[in-house]
């Protein structure tokens, strides 16, 4: 344990005071940053924005991390959970110089300080939260709950890294955070880095006390030990005492981390050891610490009133203005900055050098560390296809073989993981286990299978934690895939929205290197919930992500195993995207050879000539379009019926694998030009479109197209239950018979010629309906149907 | 503590065996329900579906709840977290008779047993999970995580009720469940009922061990005590011992509950007491207990292999068939059911009577208990409006006064609550605190405000818990409202999807009485995130809910305070709906008197004659349509500019408050007929529509309308940051100047006449842009703009 000398205490305090001063300055000051003259109303920003309450606590943590990084030559990344304390993190980045290196127009001098202050939460400036724009950050602090999962994701497979993670006591009430504590049972002390949670109890949220600050200390201690941690406590409001206590706790924590790692790395990854109880710090300091004690007679420091801007009327009320000036001067800025506004050496004494600075750590700009995935060839796992529909495979099982091979090829560099909420095997990706195990540090029993301390398949029954882990992993320069039941992807709607926002903003920052994409495999999808039924039927995640930034979002609906392989290969090698891949796990016809599949994915949408009766010499009579495995099956079955019963009808079959192709070229980089769209789907022929999800999505994508008034979409319309596969498509009017009826109804003049066929189709639907209810199974003619070669 | 006699032990065991037998029967048997002959393949269902693993545990809990309900004459509702164990809950309902009372075609005899078995997870039958169709249920068990929050919601304001809540060890890993443990700090032992969590550790999920079953017992104990509970442990695999231990634990738990309640109810709701540590039960029994020990050489009982259907090849493999028969006969059905298939008296000895039965408890059919809200008149809180746009009010503050009055008017019956994630005051609903406090049982400090043990405003920083509480509260027959930041409503996307599915299904069940609607107030919306910026900007929750069942979903965008009042009054009195109300908290012009507002809400959409220059005698030259407070402001400002600069142009201003009015009448009950739509928005005039959210939503709703090709929508397109209000609308091309330019571009022939005005508008946009970046504020001409009366 390092003793904190009086000398280093005063250095730490100087750094902390400087950071506090800079945080207040960002919230309030438009000018006069060094208080070289008395504050006047015109020095104050016209709109006072930002969050003061958490800032002094974040500044304290940053200051003390600086010390231990420097003393111990550590590599540390910090996840700032209360990232609404943007002023604190920006202040520290400016102090250590990383801000000015990243943004040379904000130098570390009086001019730069003025710009730092002015730009904060100002139009055209920087956001009030920690954000992609903030050097050293991988975590937007606006939506609370994900800090700890991000921290673990960052630590996995970075054995030399310590990830500090400040958790606000507000954030600690959220579900995702509450679940993330157990991530310590998935962290391998041999191959992974360490996570040091710092639970910051400052007592209040926006307007309420926090739960964890208002349970007895013994109960809190039990809770944290129940999570598997050894808590260290730092609490108080006297800065000198808190500095000493914090330094002691940091030293203890880091010594314990080193001990755990040394022990585990000597012992290796074998079974038998009990999992380590990692240290953590509980930091209990007043909200808005060192800010105004009270304002207009109401207590402010130590209460929720310090959450945002403690003095609201500074421009109008001279008393408030004086109070602000006294507050700023209480940090003794003249001792902290020289006449040119540069931090004095005492302030910077604790700051580490170069890439060790928290704002410069390369892990926080993961693209800098990213290596391409090994060139594992997907074609080695392709299924042979001589003719369309001659064989069937489970697409996700085929994908699992490819993923298993990638897992094997990354065994040495350990930069690829697959996450999922207890569904990897259910989703038929279990060939992964030939290459690696499932990460697990908790107790084991003889009946367990495929668990291992160093496994790179991650399974916990929390989509939130899975998503947070993967985000943290990708943001620090690695690759991965999230496999989940389609319906339950909605659980992370809000998280993926934030990640897309992060990527969108990052792409606009030249200093942020591109990172690997976040890849979803949505399977166990809406059409095949034979057992689970209505609660598991929801294809709307695609709708949700398609509302977001088109430069980031891609959605693929591969219709068979080889196309899934081609899509996955493309997605895994892409950068800065969110790729959503929807594919079934049930046996599915193989339509395309791998070569054809790859070309099809390249095009994104195309005519399947072999399936239609359209010879290309003239516009077809009707287009049957499809996207998704089940819609493709029904469209091909309908095409076969039409060929049999109406051989003279020119039917074009179009399959769409990259759904954004339907959007206007101007709105999505993958959108087809109007000419390409019109060439494929015509401007004036009826298009019967069978789509995997909610049918109106297709209209929303294609409403500007010339042929839109001829577009008729079938899809899932919330008519779900526990039933057979064919009953599901009948219930939702997407079955082959219904599609044939749609063609008859929509091709001009056909209704007269084909009335008998239409009646036969309606009879078929009724016959199937009755059979299914009587026998509980589909009729063999659909269950065993195959493409008539 | 009640001693369990040998006699009652054998009765409990008989009941449990009967329930287990019936659970297995549902999964496997198509016929021969009483095993009156040896099992043959044709007695077996063709598709084997359902979840066995959790069922024996649920049966055990049900059996023992029966005992204590009967012995102590309790009112108990049980939330079955592992609701995928549908066979168990259905078995118990059939045994106690509630199933046959609810569904007379499934009588409590051999015929009925055959039907019970056959219908399970069978096309046209019943879902495999606990579902709305299940008597006694308020909780769909498909999507895990919400059981405990539902249980607390059910217990609030039901002082006579005990809510038992079985939590699976898989579910315990989810975020929402992990956060829900702290709900015990919000339960008032005086005015609320009790919640008895039963954490069922059966060791495995679908394919993995569970975290909580694989931490040392002392650590688990610390965790649960850290949550504020006193855990009681029941564990084993010998039924007789487990029965005794479970009975003892139940008795202890209920004695402790009674003690806590008696003590609190004597002491009253005052401050000073420390919150009680409620008992809970940890039940550790093998997964798939009493099922096959092993199958084909692999261990099954006690492992993940028993999760669904332990014997998969029963129809094909005679050995599996024999194993199934032995398994079924191990429960000794001939001792449990008479020759007619009726449960023998010994089996039914523990079952309570009438409405005390778990399947009949009226709380689980909350509509039966629902009283209408008191007739609190909204007009008493309306703001006076002599002329449109003459005054401004904060709409949510006005709503807060109305809600406060309802809170006051329900003080005696206590059947109305408002929930929110620490944002009630931020959302300006703080007038509620004149009528009630914020529920809080944890420690308090002198600086706290508005906390009270018996408060009916519920604030915890977890949208999941807020949503779960409110769902549980509504499902058991009460009223409420959830206020939240618009962007973060996405956090509960998946939960609201499940609630909508629940309501959709419930509406189809005549025995389920309608319940009060789930009302959202989405505020702090996308256009006014001046401080928080991009991470807080997401209007997509509306898109999400509009994908769901139209008979359930309503979306309202009131443009001012009085319209918000009228909408809220309507929503709070509606039944079986999810009402989403999007409204701002910032000062907003008052456009409509309360009478006009009420009429406008009734119509859902209408012409604002006073705002346009359309005299109604002929079709207008252009329609300016709007939905949402900020779009309405910009459209009216654009209308004023057009009136000033192009007075001869016939402009019609249309405001849409009920967004589903745009949908086809056939697709949504609120959808306009084509005639009404065409009359309002024309079929051939340009419609410039300023919409609150993603613009393509309007196209998705209106794509079938005759005038769709003339529809041009402006809205939020993910161009967000920390900036001024007007800069937000400029960035997203929804500002007044842009709208005027749109009119000029789209009205045939106008571009030539109004070229100069168009250039002036473009100049204005540039001028505002520059000013905002220079000064950090909006120009007074937009900040202080008002409608030119």
The DSSP annotation for A665-721 comes to TTT-TTPBPHHHHHHHH-SSS-EEEEESS-THHHHHHHTTSTTGGGEEEE---S---
Maximum alpha-carbon separation in chain B = 98
Q: Indicate the average pLDDT of chain A.
A: 96
Residues A302-321 as b/e (b if ≥16 CB within 10 A, e otherwise) read: bbbbbbbbbbeebbebeebb
pTM of the model: 0.98
pLDDT of residue A274: 81
What is the pLDDT at residue B186? 98
Average of per-residue pLDDT across B724-729? 96
Cβ–Cβ contact A336 with B under 8 A:
no
For A493, the closest of B142, B221, B490 (CB atoms) is: B490
User: DSSP letter at A193?
Assistant: -
Question: Within 13 A of B488's CA, how many CA atoms are on the CB side?
Answer: 25
Residue B158 makes CB contacts below 8 A (sequence gap 6+) with B192, B193, B363, B476
Q: Give the whole-angstrom CA distance, residue B83 versus residue A65.
A: 46
Respond yes or no on whether ipTM tops 0.90. yes
Nearest to A501 among B145, B438, B534 (CB): B534
Domains of chain A in start order, with CATH, are: 6-354 (3.40.50.970), 391-588 (3.40.50.970), 605-783 (3.40.50.920)
CA-wise closest residue to A542 among A734, A700, A713, A736: A700
CB contact under 8 A, A173 and B462: yes
Dist CA A181 CA A179 (whole Å)? 6
Window 196-215 of B: residues touching A by CB (8 A cutoff) are 203, 205-211, 214-215
Cα B54 from chain centre: 25
Among candidates A488, A504, A708 on the partner chain, residue whose Cβ is nearest the Cβ of B494: A488
Q: In the prediction, which pLDDT does B5 show?
A: 87
Query: What does the alpha-carbon distance between residue A585 and residue B532 come to, in Å, rounded to a whole number?
Result: 42
Query: Which residues of A are less than 8 Å from B50 in CB distance?
Result: 531
Q: What is the secondary structure of B698-756 as a DSSP string?
A: HHHHHTTSGGGGGEEEE---S---S--HHHHHHHTT-SHHHHHHHHHHHSTTHHHHTHH
Q: What is the pLDDT of residue A530?
A: 85
Candidates A741, A740, A761, A751; CA nearest to A635 is: A740
- Using CB atoms and an 8 Å cut-off, which of residues 682-741 of chain B contact chain A? 694, 696-697, 699-700, 703, 708, 718, 721-724, 727
Instruction: Tell me how far CA of residue B781 lies from CA of B528, B588, B730, B771, B777, in angstroms.
Output: 18, 16, 15, 12, 11
Q: For A149, which residue in chain B has the nearest alpha carbon? A: B175
- Is A75:A363 a contact under the CB 8 Å cutoff? yes
B751: its two tokens: 């571009």
B45 — contact with chain A (CB < 8 Å)? yes
In B, which residues are within 8 Å of A457 by CB distance? none
Could A175 and B170 be called an inter-chain contact, meaning their C-beta atoms sit closer than 8 Å? no
DSSP character at residue A213:
G
Cα separation values, A219 from B54, B172, B723, Å: 31, 20, 43
**Which pair of tokens denotes residue A459?**
């399974």
Query: Bridge partners of A523?
Result: A485
Q: How far is A730 from chain B (nearest CA, A)?
A: 12
Q: How distant is the Cα of A648 from the closest Cα of chain B, in angstroms?
A: 31
Alpha helices (runs of H) in A268-339, residue ranges in sequence order: 318-329, 333-336
Closest CA to A458 of A441, A475, A444: A441
User: What confidence tier does B67 reach under pLDDT thresholds 50, 70, 90?
Assistant: very high
**B3 pLDDT tier (thresholds 50, 70, 90):** low
User: How far is residue B253's CA from residue B236's CA, in Å, rounded to a whole number?
Assistant: 19
Tokens representing residue B280 in the block? 């809970």
pLDDT of residue B269: 58
Q: What pLDDT does B273 receive?
A: 73
Q: Can you give the pLDDT at residue B1?
A: 39
Alpha-helical (H) ranges within B459-555 are 463-475, 493-507, 541-546
* pLDDT over 70 (residue B159): yes
For residue A409, with 0-12 CB atoms within 10 Å meaning exposed, 13-18 middle and 19 or more buried, which class applies? middle
pLDDT of residue A683: 96
Residue B61, token pair as written in the block: 């809990």
Contacts of residue B504, defined as CB under 8 A and 6 or more positions apart, other chains included, come to A718, B548, B549, B551, B552
Contacting residues of B for A487, CB less than 8 Å apart: 143, 494
Contact B538 A50 (CB under 8 A): no
Q: Report the DSSP beta bridge partners of residue B580.
A: B520, B555
Length of chain A: 789
Q: For residue range A668-689, what is the model confidence (pLDDT) as tens digits? A: 999 999 999 999 999 999 999 9
CB-CB under 8 Å, B722 with A126: yes
Tokens of A54: 């958490």
Burial class of A272 by CB neighbour count within 10 A (0 to 12, 13 to 18, 19+) = exposed
CB contact under 8 A, B443 and A700: no
Q: Which two tokens stand for residue B274?
A: 């420390």
CB contact under 8 A, B535 and A185: no
Q: How far is Cα A745 from Cα B179, in angstroms, rounded to an integer?
A: 54
Q: Which long-range contacts does A319-324 make (Cβ < 8 Å, 24+ apart)?
A: A320/A295, A321/A39, A321/A40, A321/A41, A321/A44, A322/A39, A323/A292, A323/A295, A324/A24, A324/A28, A324/A39, A324/A44
- By the CB < 8 Å criterion, does A618 face chain B? no
Q: How far is CA B139 from CA A584, A607, B365, B475, B578, in A?
A: 28, 46, 11, 9, 17
Helices (H), B574-620: 594-603
The nearest alpha carbon in chain A to B774 belongs to A123
Q: Which of these, A31, A214, A229, A204, lies nearest to A117 by C-alpha position?
A: A31
Q: What share of chain B is helix, strand, coil (3-state, %, to 5)?
A: 45, 15, 40
Arithmetic mean of pLDDT, B628-640 = 98
| Ranges in chain A, pLDDT < 50 | 1
């Amino acid at each position: 344990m390092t003793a904190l000398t009086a000398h280093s205490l005063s250095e730490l305090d100087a750094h902390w005071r400087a950071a506090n001063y800079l945080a207040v300055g960002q919230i309030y000051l438009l000018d006069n940053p060094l208080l070289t003259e008395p504050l006047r109303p015109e020095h104050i920003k016209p709109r006072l924005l930002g969050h003061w309450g958490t800032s002094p606590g974040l500044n304290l943590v940053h200051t003390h991390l600086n010390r231990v990084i420097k003393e111990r030559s550590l590599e540390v990344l910090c996840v700032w959970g209360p990232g609404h304390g943007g002023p604190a993190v920006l202040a520290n980045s400016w102090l250590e110089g990383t801000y000015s290196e990243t943004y040379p127009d904000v130098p570390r001098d009086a001019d730069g300080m003025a710009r730092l202050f002015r730009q904060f939460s100002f139009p055209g400036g920087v956001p009030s939260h920690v954000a992609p724009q903030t050097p050293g950050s991988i975590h937007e602090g606006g939506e609370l709950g994900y800090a700890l999962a991000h921290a673990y994701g960052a630590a996995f497979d970075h054995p030399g890294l310590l990830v500090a993670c400040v958790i606000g006591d507000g954030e600690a009430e959220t579900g995702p955070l509450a679940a993330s504590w157990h991530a310590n049972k998935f962290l391998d002390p041999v191959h992974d880095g360490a996570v040091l949670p710092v639970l910051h109890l400052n007592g209040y949220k926006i307007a309420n006390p926090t739960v964890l600050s208002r349970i007895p200390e013994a109960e809190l201690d039990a809770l944290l030990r129940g999570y598997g941690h050894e808590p260290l406590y730092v609490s108080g409001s006297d800065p000198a005492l808190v500095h000493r206590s914090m330094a002691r706790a940091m030293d203890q924590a880091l010594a314990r981390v080193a001990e755990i790692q040394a022990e585990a790395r000597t012992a290796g990854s074998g079974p038998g050891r009990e999992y380590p109880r990692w240290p953590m710090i509980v930091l209990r300091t007043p909200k808005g610490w060192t800010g105004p004690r009270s304002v207009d007679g109401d207590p402010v420091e130590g209460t929720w009133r310090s959450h945002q801007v403690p003095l609201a009327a500074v421009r109008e009320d001279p008393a408030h203005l004086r109070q602000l000036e006294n507050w700023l001067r209480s940090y003794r800025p003249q001792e902290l900055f020289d006449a040119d506004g540069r931090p004095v050496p005492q302030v910077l004494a604790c700051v580490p050098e170069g890439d060790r600075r928290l704002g410069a750590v390369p892990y926080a700009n993961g693209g800098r560390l990213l290596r391409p995935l090994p060139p594992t060839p997907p074609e080695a796992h392709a299924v042979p296809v001589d003719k369309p529909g001659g064989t069937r495979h489970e697409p996700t099982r085929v994908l699992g073989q490819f993923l298993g091979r990638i897992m094997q090829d990354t065994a040495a560099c350990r930069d690829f993981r697959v996450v999922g909420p207890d569904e990897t095997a259910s989703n038929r990706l279990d060939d992964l286990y030939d290459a690696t195990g499932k990460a697990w540090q908790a107790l084991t029993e003889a009946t367990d299978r495929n668990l291992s301390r160093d496994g790179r398949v991650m399974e916990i029954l929390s989509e939130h934690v899975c998503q947070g882990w993967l985000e943290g992993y990708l943001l620090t320069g690695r690759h991965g895939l999230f496999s989940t039941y389609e319906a339950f992807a909605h659980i992370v709607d809000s998280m993926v929205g934030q990640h897309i926002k992060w990527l969108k903003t990052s792409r606009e920052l030249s200093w942020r290197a591109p990172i690997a994409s976040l890849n979803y495999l949505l399977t166990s999808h809406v059409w095949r919930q034979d057992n689970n039924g209505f609660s598991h039927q929801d294809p709307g995640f695609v709708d949700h992500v398609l509302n977001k930034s088109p430069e980031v979002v891609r959605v693929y609906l591969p219709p068979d195993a080889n196309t899934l392989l081609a899509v996955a290969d493309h997605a895994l090698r892409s950068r800065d995207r969110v790729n959503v891949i929807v594919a079934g796990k049930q046996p599915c016809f193989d339509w395309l050879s791998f070569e054809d599949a790859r070309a099809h994915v390249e095009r994104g949408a195309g005519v399947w000539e072999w399936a239609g009766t359209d010879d290309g010499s003239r516009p077809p009579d009707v287009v049957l379009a499809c996207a998704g495995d089940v819609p493709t099956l029904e469209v091909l079955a309908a095409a076969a019926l039409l060929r049999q019963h109406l051989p003279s009808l020119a039917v074009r079959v179009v399959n769409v694998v990259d759904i954004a192709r339907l959007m206007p070229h101007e709105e999505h980089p993958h959108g087809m030009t109007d000419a390409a769209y019109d060439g494929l789907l015509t401007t004036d022929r009826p298009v019967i479109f069978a789509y995997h999800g909610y049918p109106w999505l297709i209209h929303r994508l294609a409403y500007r197209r010339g042929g839109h008034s001829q577009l008729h979409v079938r899809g899932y319309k919330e008519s779900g239950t526990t039933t057979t596969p064919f009953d599901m498509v009948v219930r939702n009017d997407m079955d082959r018979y219904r599609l044939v009826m749609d063609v008859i109804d929509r091709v001009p003049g056909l209704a007269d010629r084909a009335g008998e066929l239409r009646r036969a189709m309606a009879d078929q639907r009724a016959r199937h309906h009755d059979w299914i209810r009587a026998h509980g199974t589909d009729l063999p003619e659909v269950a065993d149907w195959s493409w008539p070669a």
